[in-house]
């Protein structure tokens, strides 16, 4: 008998300098689908997220808004919680790093472990800093005098900070990534990190002056003139949310977990693939086992975001199309690991043609036929070809979770829906019901279709939980017609 060890799954914690946008919704539903899938297969799992409160971006946003950082992160942080709830994302824990009593002690404990290993030292530094990324850039990364991700001008900074000796861990990090002890998906992101390591890993600053941080953040242990660098602070959330350093949750879901997965965007890959492993190695703690790196949502080829003025409000889309329609579009029509342009017209088309036209119509037709002809559904002697498509769909969904290709999983499910629709048309159960002596053929046909719908509901459960529950409710204890699964959208 195989003993399954616990699994820890986390999405990144975003800055809360503005209201959440559609890019945040994408990562939330991706990580929720993965967590739901694993739970559905009996895995003991801890799924967490939160907000990254202690950043200079938040300080500056508060100043621009005429408020305090604490008031700003409390207001916007609540919006990120509401977004998770609106998207039907079920976390086991959600941490706000500025006001959760677990966080600062965990950051201090992690810092002290690194210091005890001889990996924390103080020196003066001068370099070009991107506030959007919250890190110093190498000359080779600067494009036309700017960060390639953000449009704000870079800032020339010179100050004395505490540094982490990342260079000491270059070879252990390289070996972990090359050997897939730290798996990075997709493979092109792995190659990107390996290419960066080939250029040599530099030590990096893990503090900022209290003056520049305007006193916002967690003080460096033993040095009140410095504030812990936001990325050291933020990455520690994966431990603080488990009660590090002294809790049973931490022991169970980090130290003893068989798998530790981070679902992140490609724009923060370096911090998770290089900084985070270095810190953990210094502290003598296990590394993540997998980084699953999704693409970004773009608008006309440009990353969406408040700072670029092209953010898309997910709450508006949920109100107009429904939560599962938005989840479907994000998971099925946006490539999991490549950048994808958002177009609301395509969301509307996906709703009408695929959810309502294919899935909703199939459920309505089958339930109406079973109810009208009072057919007793059986679970044996079903159509072999339809059962084969269902089995293939189950296999492909499992592979899509493993490969972090969630769009492939949805494609497989809707290929099953398409096969069932073709089977309805070719079998013509309404004609079978008219001819005497075809009762057995009618039972065979409709039972095969109900089986396909039951498999569809089970496979959809991690991706579209409300839709899956509604399909199951329509089929049990026996198929019955209800209101349209996806009502016609207003013009």
151 near 319, Cβ under 8 Å? no
434 is catalytic: no
Q: Would you say how long the chain is, in residues?
A: 491
73 near 16, Cβ under 8 Å? yes
Nearest-10 crossing angle of helices 465-475, 439-460: 160
- Look at the block and give the residue holding tokens 């950051």: 107
Catalytic residue among 150, 252, 333, 373: 150
Which residues contact residue 24 at a Cβ distance below 8 angstroms, ignoring those fewer than 6 apart? 14, 80, 83, 314
114 is catalytic: no
Strands 7-11 and 223-228, how do they pair?
A: unpaired
Catalytic residue among 302, 306, 335, 358: 306
| Residue 64 CB neighbour total at 10 angstroms | 10
Strands 120-130 and 155-164, how do they pair?
A: antiparallel
- Look at the block and give the residue holding tokens 């992101």: 189
CA-based angle 351:354:358, to the nearest 5? 130
* Cα(486)–Cα(350) distance, integer angstroms: 11
Catalytic residue among 21, 108, 262, 294: 21
Which residues contact residue 357 at a Cβ distance below 8 angstroms, ignoring those fewer than 6 apart? none
Catalytic residue among 114, 133, 367, 445: 133
Report which of 330, 334, 339, 336 is spatially closest to residue 296, judged by C-alpha positions.
Answer: 339
133 is catalytic: yes
303 is catalytic: yes
150 is catalytic: yes
Strands 302-303 and 204-205, how do they pair?
A: unpaired
* Cα(33)–Cα(432) distance, integer angstroms: 40
* Cα(288)–Cα(290) distance, integer angstroms: 6
306 is catalytic: yes
Dihedral sign computed on CA atoms, order 202, 53, 237, 85 = negative
Residue 440 vs residues 125, 426, 429: alpha-carbon distances, Å: 81, 17, 11
Catalytic residue among 114, 147, 367, 445: 147
* Cα(130)–Cα(146) distance, integer angstroms: 8
Q: Is 109 helix (H, G, I), strand (E, B) or coil?
A: helix
91 is catalytic: no
* Cα(470)–Cα(468) distance, integer angstroms: 5
122 is catalytic: no
Find the helix or strand (DSSP H, E) in which 70 lies: helix 69-86
Strands 7-11 and 93-96, how do they pair?
A: unpaired
Report which of 168, 167, 133 is spatially closest to residue 268, judged by C-alpha positions.
Answer: 133
Dihedral sign computed on CA atoms, order 337, 338, 341, 344 = negative
| Burial of 73 from C-beta contacts in 10 A (0-12 / 13-18 / 19+) | buried
Strands 297-299 and 207-209, how do they pair?
A: unpaired
Catalytic residues: 21, 24, 130, 133, 147, 150, 303, 306
């Amino acid at each position: 008998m195989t003993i399954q060890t616990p699994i820890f799954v986390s999405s990144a914690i975003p800055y809360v300098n503005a209201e959440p946008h559609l890019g945040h919704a994408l990562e939330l539903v991706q990580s929720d689908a993965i967590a739901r899938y694993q739970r559905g297969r009996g895995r003991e799992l801890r799924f967490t997220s939160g907000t990254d409160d202690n950043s200079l971006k938040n300080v500056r946003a508060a100043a621009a808004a005429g408020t305090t950082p604490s008031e700003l992160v409390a207001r916007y942080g609540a919006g990120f919680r509401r977004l998770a709830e609106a998207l039907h994302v079920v976390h086991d824990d959600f941490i706000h790093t500025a006001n959760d009593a677990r966080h600062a002690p965990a950051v201090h404990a992690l810092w002290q472990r690194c210091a005890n290993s001889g990996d924390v030292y103080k020196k003066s530094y001068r370099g070009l800093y991107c506030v959007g990324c919250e890190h110093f850039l190498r000359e080779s990364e600067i494009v036309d005098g700017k960060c390639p991700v953000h449009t704000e001008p870079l800032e020339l900074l010179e100050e004395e900070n505490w540094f982490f000796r990342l260079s000491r861990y270059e070879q252990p990090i390289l070996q972990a990534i090359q050997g897939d002890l730290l798996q990075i998906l997709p493979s092109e992101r792995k190659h990107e990190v390996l290419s960066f390591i080939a250029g040599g890993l530099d030590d990096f600053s893990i503090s900022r002056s209290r003056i520049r941080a305007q006193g916002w953040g967690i003080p460096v242990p033993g040095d009140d003139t410095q504030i812990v660098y936001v990325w050291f602070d933020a990455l520690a959330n994966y431990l603080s949310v488990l009660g590090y350093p002294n809790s049973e949750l931490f022991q169970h879901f980090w130290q003893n977990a068989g798998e530790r997965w981070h679902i992140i965007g490609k724009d923060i890959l370096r911090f998770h693939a290089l900084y985070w492993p270095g810190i953990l190695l210094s502290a003598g703690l296990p590394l993540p086992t997998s980084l699953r790196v999704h693409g970004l949502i773009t608008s006309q080829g440009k990353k969406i975001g408040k700072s670029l003025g092209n953010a898309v409000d997910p709450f508006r889309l949920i109100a107009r199309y429904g939560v599962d329609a938005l989840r479907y579009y994000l998971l099925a029509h946006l490539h999991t690991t490549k950048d994808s342009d958002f177009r609301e017209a395509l969301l509307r088309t996906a709703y009408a043609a695929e959810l309502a036209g294919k899935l909703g119509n199939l459920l309505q037709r089958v339930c109406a036929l079973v109810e009208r002809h009072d057919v007793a559904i059986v679970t044996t002697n079903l159509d072999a070809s339809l059962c084969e498509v269902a089995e293939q769909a189950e296999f492909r969904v499992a592979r899509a979770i493993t490969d972090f290709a969630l769009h492939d999983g949805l494609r497989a499910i809707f290929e099953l829906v398409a096969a069932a629709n073709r089977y309805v048309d070719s079998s013509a159960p309404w004609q079978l019901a008219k001819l005497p002596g075809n009762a057995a053929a009618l039972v065979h046909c409709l039972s095969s279709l109900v089986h396909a719908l039951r498999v569809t509901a089970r496979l959809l459960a991690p991706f579209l939980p409300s839709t899956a529950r509604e399909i199951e409710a329509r089929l049990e204890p026996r198929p019955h017609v209800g209101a349209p699964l996806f009502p016609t959208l207003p013009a």
